[in-house]
Structure 1
Amino acid sequence: MRSSGRGRRHGALPRARSGRRIRVPGGGARPRRGRRPAPPTLPELAGRTVLIAGLFPASVPDPATVMAALAAELAARGAVVAGSHVQRRGVSRGGVRAMSRPLSATTVLGSGKLRALAAERAATEAAAVIFSNRLTGRQRVHLAAALGCPVLDRTDLMPRSAPAAPDADGA
């Protein structure tokens, strides 16, 4: 038996016979939007100990070169790289389509690799952990809480363009 289309659709608010929407407690409420975390400020890295980490899919043949380039960039800024952690994501973990996604939506890394990174951070007393992957605000918050230090990504190391100076006309 086929419906005439007057039934309730999935996710739709119930309607009265007149066609007006009926307010239901908790129904139809928009999801709350959380405050976006402030963009991280780049701590002074000169003379500080840092750790580097990254998640690489199997399609990246040699993650060591990417990590070495990141370590060289940090060394040029005066930071001391105490160690690096590489998490690989193979085809066996979710198939080819999932290879470019993080292992965890909140921490990028798997739980075991995160525990190892936290243990090394505590042992070396690293001032920050820098990821080669781009991180979301949510990932930064969760990683900073788990590691107990500021968490940055490679894009934070890039120089930001300065605001344009006003013209002589004042325009």
Structure 2
Amino acid sequence: MALVGLFSAKDREFGSKLDVLAAAVEAQGGRVVSRHIQRRGVSSGGVDRMGSPLSRRTLLSPGKAGEVADACRSAGVDVVVFANPLTEHQRAVLNDVFDCLVISGGDLGTVHG
């Protein structure tokens, strides 16, 4: 499985949040093979976009979505677990982009954001 999370630049706990998510995956019998983080507001351009809405389709930039998709294909990942809540539409789009099942941490009984 791969873990993916969108975190604000102000969120200094993103690493520990992914650790908790990884523990939940492992408690369900899964094995985490990669972690992917999209930070928002880290660069000066990102700070300018902090007030803009998130991508309704993927929560990720096109570049990060492509990076995650390539990594998942290379590693043979069959499930991607997002640290963020996802709508059904986002799940469907991400399933197509990543070519595998996409779920959120909430599906594992964990709460992230």
Shift in Å, 1:137: 1.1
Structure 1, unmatched stretches of 5+, are: 1-49, 160-171
Shift in Å, 1:151: 0.4
Shift in Å, 1:79: 0.6
TM-score normalised by structure 2 residue count: 0.86
Q: 2:32 aligns with which of 64, 71, 81?
A: 81
Shift in Å, 1:62: 2.6
Aligned counterparts, 1:10-159, within 5 A: 50-90=1-41, 92-95=47-50, 97-98=51-52, 101-102=53-54, 104-158=55-109
Structure with bigger strand share is 2
Q: Distance in 1 between matches of 2:47 and 2:10?
A: 13
Structure with bigger helix share is 2
Equivalent residue, structure 2, for 1:165: none
Q: Distance in 2 between matches of 1:136 and 1:59?
A: 24
Q: Distance in 1 between matches of 2:14 and 2:2?
A: 16
Q: Distance in 2 between matches of 1:65 and 1:124?
A: 23
Change over 3 Å in CA distance of 1:119–1:93 after alignment to 2: farther
TM-score normalised by structure 1 residue count: 0.58
If asked which structure has higher relative contact order (CA below 8 Å, sep 6+), I would say: 2
Shift in Å, 1:61: 1.3
Residue deviations 1:18-47 (CA, integer Å, cap 9, x gap): xxxxxxxxxxxxxxxxxxxxxxxxxxxxxx
What's the secondary structure of 1:130's corresponding residue?
A: strand
Shift in Å, 1:93: 4.0
Q: Distance in 1 between matches of 2:99 and 2:108?
A: 20
The CA RMSD over aligned residues, in Å, is 1.5
Q: Distance in 2 between matches of 1:93 and 1:112?
A: 18
Q: Distance in 2 between matches of 1:79 and 1:63?
A: 21
Count of aligned residue pairs for this structure pair: 106
